[in-house]
Structure 1
Amino acid sequence: MGWLQHLSAVLLLALVSRVSGLLAFPGAEGFGRNSAGGRTGSVYHVTNLKRVAQSATVDKVRTSSDQGSGSFRDAVSKANRIVVFDVGGTINITDRVVVSKNIYIAGQTAPGQGITIYGNGLSWSNANEEIVRYIRFRMGRSGDSGKDGITIADGQNMIFDHVSVTWGRDETFSINGKVTNVTIQDSIIGQGLDTHSCGGLIQTDGGVSLFRNLYIDNKTRNPKVKGVNDFQNNVVYNWGGGGGYIAGDSAGPSYANIINNYFISGPTSSVAAFTRGNANFHGYVSNNFHDSNRNGVLDGTALCAQKMCYGDMDVVKTKYTYPGPTKLRSPQEAVTYVLANVGTTFPARDAIDKILVAEVQSWGRKGQLISDERASPMYGPGYIAGGTKPIDSDGDGIPDAWEQANGLNPRDASDAMRISSSGYANIEVYVNSLVPSS
């Protein structure tokens, strides 16, 4: 791309994402709702996998390509791309993947049973304008000790929607430092590996929205919050002795909404739903429920709105005016919604997420902290069937049938990145149409 074309793309991106305030996709909410992704760039096709054969006791790997043309690593290595998948299955990574700026990872385009990224973990540090949807990230014992499943340190305008993140060696999904405008919605953050076993640190003054997520089987940090945070309609299940929601207790100020969440104790839960905090942590708390009896029935009661129920945080009376969810559900409705919709549900949940949801539905009787994802009951990431991609004659990422039905030319690859009357590129209109809005 010449410098004039690059400048035009940058100016168009600024016009689309900032002047119009266009949502990242229909249903995008919270601080990261206007992330632009790769809207003015190009389409990249992931065409190969790195395959693995494993058992609970044997770690045998047979590989194809984890780098070079057509690989996921190559797809996210350069800025301003919409990444689509011509293959479904498990992509095994041995080295950590670093994601560039202005990327839309459209996991919903994968044929078969979708995509799982299994291995060392990923970094969105120093990345801006990211959209990540319908994809599973599973780190595991083979990942680097002391590293997170997903790390964000520095960057702005990112949204993660219907992702499933498990088996972090340090944190499972962690946000720290100079990070601005991030949303994690309708996602699973679970089973951080012992001995650390952490859901994640959410520590930034730039604003993080956590809506309708499931934190499950993490000993601690479900999540641990500092800075500016909006925590609404989440379900937290089976935290361990390290704690459920941990309010930061540093000298720096924090300002959080904690609204209509449901905490459900499991077999390893041995402390209160909320711990720590200090006078610098200011929390607006409203209508949070806790089911602590582990009797196999969802029959929790409302936590009081007093300091004694929320650790040592400063409980404030006025809600912070953050960009909240379009529809705020009751805690009971949130449980129903989360269990039906959370994680990579398109085209369907994999075996791992099904196990996690079933644990919650035991209402306190099932659940465990794990140290090795290859042991019982997970036995590794499981098998993800590949499937066959639909016919796409011009290779622009949009199937011929959809182009014909929507007035595009299946022999003209240039129309994929053309901005439609909606403000989205045509390829975005297609990939967003594959899944319901949140």
Structure 2
Amino acid sequence: MKNTVFLEKKGISIATKCFTSIFYFFLFSLSSLAACVDKEPVDEEDADPAINPHSSFLEEEENGGNTSSGPAFPAFADNARAFPGAVGYGRNAEGARASSTREVYVVTNLNNSGAGSFKDAISQSNRIIVFNVSGIIDLNKEQLVFKSNQTILFQTAPGDGIELYNGYTSSSGASDVIIRYMRVRVGRQVSGSDNIDAGGCANGKNQIYDHCSFTWGTDECFSLNRDGKGDGLFNITLQNSILGQGCQNHSCGGLIQTEDSEGITIFRNLLIDNKTRNFKVKGLNQYVNNIVYNWGNGAAYNMGGESKGHSNTVIENNYFIKGPAYTWINTAYPIATTDLSMFDDETKYHYNGISGSDYLADTYQQVNPTKPFIGGDGDGDFDTYCVGNYYDDDKDGILNGFELTQGNWQTYCSATPVFLSKPDSQHPEISVKTSATAAYHWVVENVGPVLPNRDLVDQFMIDELITLGTKGTIFRNQNYETQYPLATTWQNINIGAPKTDTDGDGIPDDFEDKWGLNKNSAGDAVRIADNGYTMIENYALSLEFPNEYEKAWKEAYGE
């Protein structure tokens, strides 16, 4: 029969199940009829939701309710509420699952606005957003603001995926946000001033960013910097992501600054080619398994700087690897004493024009990086459980660093924290943390948006990292080839063909056919399966964990 899928769990035939279900439905109908004759309706205010649920199974299914049924998807050992592998303070973010009225929005074009665009997709809360298009979305120098109860799954795009370019993002004011495999490329052209963050949040809660890449910010690459509005800034995780190539003269990884009761987790990220703030941290914070490479004369990890307030932190098993610290910086040269012809050497200068009595030019130079830890001298103690952190300072192309301990701290670090003998009990356990060396190798292979594919921008930074000290540039303008070799080629990405999706629910037909979903009905995409994730989230997870899904299918339905 056409378009018919027969799924059969081992030892139990579908026909037997159907007959049994019809038989029990018949008995239930008779008993329900008798109950209607004998009993008065239950007053809504007196109803016990455990006995008299508000909605029927069918209503919940049609309205996107929390219905658990369907395929035998794998159950993950680390099935955090957000997704398998989520850790830290933001691990329990639910995204669109937090809403009983969730819906799927499929991005179908690269337009900056209008139906089918990403901008339109994020304009409403309660959405799971997936992609059936690939390429560059020009944000026209605008900021995109994510809303509450949104799950955004960039890994579902075909080809090499999506690039958000010429703009920036924020999740300020939102709660329950899950963003995975997103790339944000701001660019010097967005602003001549040093004031644009590629991403971040100033107030919000229950958020997690995973496998993202934030580059070319002209202020910070990514910041979680409390603005005092709303309920605060807490229960947020940034993990498995790249924060890199911040544009000079204010080239920064970011500010991670909250109160000491507002938890933030920074786990297994790559911070690369940023002059300073990799990160600057204040408040209740975990900083675990991060790799910091080729910072400049600003800071690698800044323990609060001169910021006010108490900090309660864990800094564990990170690797700080010194790079060559080549940099391009906009420099003023007095007109009265400068020969304009010097700027003809494009390997050292890029002439930017005149400001007042000065010539301005991006100037190529090599700076002396700071020590890996600075700060700790602000108004309020910077308490830290700081162990297992390694420093490779010889730039010899080999990963051969040494551990930073309290015994050698004054030699290699300038920060003045209060050292703790154990982590504060407030901090959630990260069971998947590794040694600093293992974290480095994991990052090389897996950090950032590796799905659908790692793009040229991220691969360029990985290629710098693995030189372990011999390559690395902190540039000012990514549009100049003398500063950034990929200036005219980073846009070359593979545009994949859209996947066949008959009902337009974001789940391709081949996945629905295989797992017994209805490819002619969009309603099943938002239903929650037995493993706790919606059907469409399970599709996205199958791209990430193909072996687990194939094993589960064979165990449930195989010969």
TM-score, normalised by the number of residues in structure 2: 0.71
Q: Is 1:91 aligned with 2:199?
A: no
Distance across 2 between alignment mates of 1:355 and 1:397: 31
Distance across 2 between alignment mates of 1:436 and 1:408: 19
Distance across 2 between alignment mates of 1:430 and 1:112: 17
Q: 1:12 to 1:315 in 2, by over 3 A?
A: farther
Aligned pair count reads 411
CA displacement, residues 171-212 of structure 1 (integer Å, 9 cap, x when unaligned): 110111121111111110001100000000001131111111
Q: 1:235 to 1:43 in 2, by over 3 A?
A: same
- Residue 386 of structure 1 aligns to a residue whose secondary structure is coil
Q: 1:202 to 1:266 in 2, by over 3 A?
A: same
Letter paired with 2:309:
G
Name 1:325's counterpart in structure 2: 430
Q: Is 1:131 aligned with 2:131?
A: no
Q: 1:173 to 1:117 in 2, by over 3 A?
A: same
Distance across 1 between alignment mates of 2:424 and 2:273: 30
Contact 1:114 1:347 in 2 (8 A): yes
Q: Is 1:44 aligned with 2:105?
A: yes
Name 1:18's counterpart in structure 2: none
Q: 1:311 aligns with which of 415, 425, 430?
A: 415
Q: Per residue, is there more strand in 1 or in 2?
A: 1
Contact 2:94 2:177 in 1 (8 A): yes
Contact 2:80 2:86 in 1 (8 A): no
Q: 1:393 aligns with which of 485, 502, 507?
A: 502
Letter paired with 2:240:
D
Q: CA deviation at 1:424?
A: 1.6
1:5-404 aligned at under 5 Å gives the runs 23-39=81-97, 40=99, 41-49=102-110, 65-94=111-140, 95-144=142-191, 145=193, 146-177=195-226, 178-205=232-259, 206-248=262-304, 249-268=306-325, 269-278=368-377, 280-305=381-406, 308=410, 309=413, 311-321=415-425, 322-375=427-480, 376-379=484-487, 381-404=490-513
Contact 1:89 1:383 in 2 (8 A): no
Distance across 2 between alignment mates of 1:22 and 1:251: 34
Distance across 1 between alignment mates of 2:308 and 2:145: 32
Q: Is 1:416 aligned with 2:525?
A: yes
Q: CA deviation at 1:389?
A: 2.0
Higher mean alpha-carbon deviation, 405-414 vs 141-150, is at 141-150
Name 1:56's counterpart in structure 2: none
Letter paired with 2:136:
T
Higher mean alpha-carbon deviation, 367-376 vs 236-245, is at 367-376
Contact 1:243 1:273 in 2 (8 A): yes
- Residue 404 of structure 1 aligns to a residue whose secondary structure is helix
Q: CA deviation at 1:315?
A: 1.4
Contact 1:213 1:342 in 2 (8 A): yes
Q: CA deviation at 1:11?
A: 12
Distance across 1 between alignment mates of 2:80 and 2:460: 36
Distance across 1 between alignment mates of 2:528 and 2:414: 48
Structure 2: gaps (5+ residues): 1-53, 69-78, 227-231, 326-367, 547-559
Higher mean alpha-carbon deviation, 195-204 vs 382-391, is at 382-391
Distance across 2 between alignment mates of 1:429 and 1:289: 37
CA displacement, residues 13-36 of structure 1 (integer Å, 9 cap, x when unaligned): 8x9xxxxx9521111111111111
CA displacement, residues 240-276 of structure 1 (integer Å, 9 cap, x when unaligned): 0001000103330001100010000011152100001
Q: CA deviation at 1:150?
A: 0.5
Q: CA deviation at 1:436?
A: 3.5
Q: CA deviation at 1:12?
A: 6.1
Distance across 2 between alignment mates of 1:110 and 1:344: 12
Q: CA deviation at 1:310?
A: 5.8
Distance across 2 between alignment mates of 1:324 and 1:47: 40
Contact 1:114 1:135 in 2 (8 A): no
Q: 1:33 to 1:434 in 2, by over 3 A?
A: same
Distance across 2 between alignment mates of 1:48 and 1:339: 32
Q: CA deviation at 1:89?
A: 0.9
Q: Per residue, is there more helix in 1 or in 2?
A: 2
Q: CA deviation at 1:317?
A: 1.3
TM-score, normalised by the number of residues in structure 1: 0.90
Residue identity (%): 43
Q: CA deviation at 1:141?
A: 1.1
Q: 1:199 to 1:38 in 2, by over 3 A?
A: same
